[in-house]
Amino acid sequence: MSVTVATLGFPRIGPRRELKTELEQHWAGRSDAASLLAVAARLRAGNWAWQRDRGADVIPSNDFSLYDHVLDTSVMVGAIPPVYGWTGGPVDSATYFAMARGTQGEAACAHGHAAHAAGGVPAAEMTKWFDTNYHYLVPEFSADQVFRLSSTKPVDEYNEARAQGIETRPVLLGPVSYLLLGKARGGDFDPLTLLPRLLPVYVAVLRALADAGAGWVQIDEPCLVLDLNDAARAAYAQAYAQLHAALDGTRLMLTTYFGDLGDNLATALALPVDGLHIDLVRAPGQLQPVLDGARPDLVLSLGVIDGRNVWRADLHAILARIAPAVRSGRTLQLAPSCSLLHSPLDLDRETALDEDVRSWLAFAVQKIGELAILARALNTGVESVRGELDAAAAAVASRRTSPRINSPAVQARVAGGSGQEGRPTPFPARQAAQRAMLDLPPFPTTTIGSFPQTPEVRQARAAQARGALADDAYEAFLKEEIAAAVRWQEEVGLDVLVHGEFERNDMVQYFGEHLSGFVFTRHGWVQSYGSRCVRPPIIYGDVARPEPMTVGWWEYAQSLTARPMKGMLTGPVTILNWSFVRDDQPRETTCRQIAYAIRDEVVDLERAGAAIIQIDEAALREGLPLRRRDWQAYLDWAVACFRIASSGVADVTQIHTHMCYSEFNDIIAAIAAMDADVISIETARSKMELLDAFVGHRYPAEIGPGVYDIHSPREPSVDEMVALLKAAARRLDARQIWVNPDCGLKTRKWPEVWPAIASMVAAARAMRAG
Ligand code: GLN
Ligand code: ZN
């Protein structure tokens, strides 16, 4: 039996982000549903042809989505919350997009909080898909939830591919993961209790696919790599026993990815399925236990090519790693570790990329080619692909030894670190010194850093990038923006000012462009949610900071005012978590390198005169590993990196940090260990409940809980903000409290920001007056 190549899912957005463009046209009312569906069909056809041509034998269908595959699953099973007014029958596109985005324009912010605009319906909640930067729409169930088959999408797309001569393996999100990813409305029951009601819908879908001719169905159960309780494990056994009993003929490839089956291995291996996919990139060690424990007739799909990163693979190493599986005589498929959704599409389009770096990379299309080479090596002998294997080996060797990657100075600096970096003086003494120096009023006011990125700001940046605006004209433009922002901040009465971040396209990209060891693609977009795509930087080499990145802007801004101007930086952990990271050294090592680069910037800002420096760690919590047992190790090095970045300054220099909406309770010890002098967090929408994590001895330093929910276009009143500050003052010592909005002012318009911040300052003054 020969080894075949399988893919589990493919990027949906298209080589030129056609899906994004078309969705935005559709939402703006400039293109109708038929046009949208036609674009989607063309993208699917292209994706299928691409996969076939590059050598995939097993090609997925129903992996495409107009917005999100979890939302598609909710639609498929008819789990549409009542607020959307759906009364049965097929779910129309208006209802679909209402769930995705709400019905009042921009309905969800980057953090997944739906905006509850007056009169409209809110979008469903959005959250991160495991530890990727893809976001899914959280299914919401009621205790009396009824499920019914409400979509023909899986069958339609299977038939569509077939009509093009491509036999596919349809993909479904498995019933147990689907329920585990959802939430109970009201929170008063366990969604898993709905399993018996859900399964008949899955049976119906699987039967329909079998009737259409599908021999195999891929059923994704990524929750099998999470910490599960006994009830969840039992649900797996129950679900698959029931599906097995109801199916005749259709075979299931159960896929797991993003980690190790670990303590769920026995559960997974006992399921009556026909195939099992395991992630051997994240968890290479699970191959042997799976080989030892799996039924002899279980088809194994080996996820050997990294679906979540951009590096060309070491094909020889993979062949060696899977040799035991080959020797076992089992039926094998070779696959990416997970869906290629998380990988950029096609490296061939990156014609402007540095040649060396390009030779080290593989995007989705190239990854399928790598799998095809591996399969040929196994099926027709390594000699038949000697040239390809040697080329891959040469690329790996060139990357390993390249002076472009290796900076002895950077490596020595990281190696020379004590691992105990931190500020020498404890917080209370620093606080006293800073108070004497800064002389701020109680309830000092500030903002989180960015101000509106107006169309003019974006246009100027784009013009400068294409050479249509000279560098000095661009600089003069930005200085005017900064000057106007400083004037307004003084007038409105803010105590600690910011320059506004007008020069930054993005809080990570800006720094990546100024650090060595980073490259940027032109077209390396990856879906973040719906039509939103990100183009993460690629960290390919040792990271250093050749010269100051922000000092000039800060100096200019500070020169305009006598009030303290905050230096504004992105922290090392956030830069790491929002980039493609090199795979030839531990993430921790790369993070330490970034930390030293940021430290240099912090020291230079202080030397230039900055009394307050903010180091944002928006994505610190996002980096938490999927399994609890791995949390502490991550938090230890993440905190160490923040301390490296922030501890090069004198006691009087005040270090701020910032974190976006998070569950803070279970990481509060780590946040305290970061030892910042002030932290701002987003809390406005949580009514200060998120602040509870910081109460008492758990957090000694100063805190700015967001009082203005900038994710909503609604203008907050003074009273509302006073009420929030009073709620904060009930939990904290008044002298601990700063007054600031939530983050993301760059996404609002100036006419919204002006009155809201004026009200915020008024609220702070009311608090001072007592
Ligand atoms: N300083 C950044 C800003 O204000 C922080 C962004 C963020 O927290 N995501 O935009
Ligand atoms: Zn934030």
| Beta strand pairing call for 135-137 and 126-128 | antiparallel
Q: Ligand 1 pocket, 173 CB below 6 A?
A: no
Predicted confidence (pLDDT) per residue in 354-382, tens digit? 999 999 999 999 999 999 999 999 999 99
Residue in the structure block whose two tokens are 């001569």:
165
Share of the chain above pLDDT 70, in %: 98
Q: Ligand 2 center to residue 681 CA distance, Å? A: 7
**Residue whose tokens read 């779910």:** 91
Please count the structural domains in the chain: 2
**Is the same domain home to 470 and 549?**
yes
Strands 140-141 vs 168-173: parallel, antiparallel or unpaired:
unpaired
* 578 annotated as a binding-site residue: yes
Looking at the fold, whether 389 and 449 belong to one and the same domain comes out as no
Of all atoms in ligand 1, which is nearest to the CA of residue 447?
4
Q: Is 86 marked as binding a ligand?
A: no
Distance CA 200, CA 246 (A): 9
547 is annotated as contributing to ligand binding: no
658 lines ligand 1 (CB under 6 A): yes
Ligand-binding site membership of 660 (annotated): yes
How many Å lie between the centroid of ligand 1 and the Cα of residue 368? 37
- Per-residue buried b or exposed e for 655-681, using 16+ beta carbons within 10 Å of the residue's own CB: bbbbbbbbebeebbebbbbbbbbbbbb
Torsion angle, CA of 110/116/121/122, rounded to 10 degrees? 30
ipTM over 0.85: yes
- Per the listing, tokens 């109970």 go with 184
Mark whether 674 and 526 lie in a shared domain. yes
Residues 511 and 637 in one domain: yes
Residues 374 and 523 placed together within one structural domain of the fold: no
Ligand 1 site-directed mutation target among 498, 501, 662, most atoms within 8 Å of CB: 501
pLDDT at 611: 98
- Rounded average pLDDT over 624-643: 98
702 is in an annotated binding site: no
Does residue 114 have a pLDDT over 60?
Answer: no
Sort 13 into a burial class: Cβ within 10 Å, 0-12 / 13-18 / 19+: buried
Rounded distance from Cα 527 to ligand 2 centre (Å): 20
pLDDT at 249: 83
Question: Is 471 a domain residue?
Answer: yes
Is 616 a known ligand-binding residue?
Answer: yes
For residue 746 and ligand 1, the question of a CB distance below 6 A is answered with yes
Residue with CA closest to ligand 1 atom 2: 449
Question: What distances in angstroms separate CA 237 from CA 195, 243, 278, 618, one per listed residue?
Answer: 11, 10, 18, 39
Separation of 19 CA from ligand 2 center, angstroms?
28
Of 257, 302, 362, 350, which is closest to residue 583 (Cα–Cα)? 362
Domain region containing 327: 3-91+127-401
Per the CB < 8 A criterion, the answer to whether 568 and 614 are in contact is yes
Residue of 113, 507, 598 with the most ligand 1 atoms within 8 Å of its CB, for mutation: 507
Q: Is the CB of 756 under 6 A from ligand 1?
A: no
Spacing, Cα 575 to ligand 2 middle (Å):
14
Do 372 and 437 share a domain, yes or no? no
- Give per-residue burial for 335-354: e unless 16+ CB within 10 Å, then b: bbbbbbbbbbbbbebbeebe
Ligand 1 pocket member 550 (CB < 6 A): no
Ion ligand 2 residues within 5 Å by Cβ: 618, 660, 743
* CB of 741 sitting under 6 A from ligand 1: no
pLDDT cut 90: percent of the chain above it:
91
Is there a domain that residue 600 lies in? yes
Q: How far is the CA of 276 from the centre of ligand 1 (A)?
A: 42
Does 680 lie in the same domain as 643? yes
pLDDT tier for residue 109 given thresholds of 50, 70 and 90? very low
How many Å lie between the centroid of ligand 1 and the Cα of residue 307? 29
* Closest ligand to residue 453's CA: 1
At residue 684, the pLDDT reads 87
Answer yes or no: is pLDDT of 593 > 80: yes
Residue 478 is predicted with a pLDDT of 98
Query: Active-site residues: which are they?
Result: 711
Per-residue pLDDT tens for 401-426?
A: 999 999 999 999 999 999 889 999 99
pLDDT of 271 reads 98
Residue 310: pLDDT over 80? yes
CATH code assigned at 655: 3.20.20.210
Give the Cα-Cα-Cα angle 663, 668, 670 (nearest 5 degrees).
Answer: 120
Residues near 253 by Cβ (< 8 Å), separated by ≥ 6? 6, 169, 216, 217, 218, 219, 273, 274, 275, 276, 277, 299, 301
396 and 444 together in one domain:
no
The bound ligand whose nearest atom lies closest to the alpha carbon of 504 is: 1
* Residue 179: both structure tokens together: 């329920």
Band of residue 174 on the pLDDT scale cut at 50, 70, 90: very high
Is the distance from CB of 626 to CB of 131 less than 8 angstroms?
Answer: yes
Position 704 in a domain: yes
Could you identify the atom of ligand 1 that is nearest to the CA of residue 658? 8
497 beta partners: 565
Residue 85 has a pLDDT of 92
Q: Which of 162, 167, 279, 161 is nearest to 220 (CA)?
A: 279
Provide mean pLDDT across the span 445-464.
Answer: 97
285 shares a domain with 155: yes
Is pLDDT at 7 greater than 60 in this prediction?
yes
Q: What is the pLDDT of residue 103?
A: 84
Q: How confident is the model at residue 110 (pLDDT cuts 50, 70, 90)?
A: very low
Does residue 430 sit in the same domain as residue 388? no
In this predicted structure, the answer to whether residue 115 has a pLDDT above a threshold of 70 is: no
The residue whose C-alpha atom lies closest to atom 1 belonging to ligand 1 is 449
Confirm whether 419 is domain-assigned.
no
Residue 107: the pLDDT is: 41
Task: Say whether pLDDT at 143 is over 60.
Answer: yes
Q: 566-576, pLDDT tens digit by residue?
A: 999 999 999 99
- pLDDT tens-digit series, residues 712-731: 778 899 999 999 999 999 99
Q: What is the per-residue pLDDT for 119?
A: 58
Check pocket membership of 500 for ligand 1, CB cut-off 6 A.
no
Contact (CB, 8 A) for 494 and 333: no
Q: Does 328 map to a domain?
A: yes
User: Quick one: pLDDT at residue 104?
Assistant: 65
Domain match, 314 and 434 both: no
What whole-number distance in Å separates Cα of residue 123 and Cα of residue 102? 4
Ligand 1 centroid, distance to 145 Cα (angstroms): 39
For residues 340 and 255, give the distance between their C-alpha atoms in angstroms, rounded to a whole number.
14
Q: Is the CB of 743 under 6 A from ligand 1?
A: yes
Average pLDDT across the chain, whole number: 95
Tell me if 599 CB under 6 Å of ligand 1: no
Nearest atom, ligand 1, residue 682 CA: 8
Q: Please choose, from the candidates 140, 148, 33, the residue with its C-alpha nearest in 3D space to the C-alpha of residue 88.
A: 148
Q: What is the pLDDT of residue 116?
A: 41
Show the 3-state SS of 601-627. HHHHHHHHCCCEEEEECCCCHHHCCCC
Whether residue 103 lies inside any domain: the answer is no
Give the C-alpha separation, 89 to 86, whole Å.
8
Q: What is the pLDDT of residues 11-52, one digit of tens each?
A: 999 999 999 999 999 999 999 999 999 999 999 999 999 999
CA distance 744 to 516: 27
Residue 439 shares a structural domain with residue 559: yes
Of 229-243, 606-620, 658-672, 704-718, which range is least confident? 704-718
350 in any annotated domain: yes
pTM for the whole structure = 0.95
Interval 486-507 mean pLDDT: 97
Nearest to 507 by CA among 614, 589, 422, 414: 614
Has 456 been labeled as part of a binding site? no
In a domain, 140, yes or no: yes
Q: 450 CB less than 6 Å from ligand 1?
A: yes
Q: Is 744 in the pocket of ligand 1 (CB under 6 A)?
A: yes
Cα 650 from Cα 665, distance rounded (Å): 30
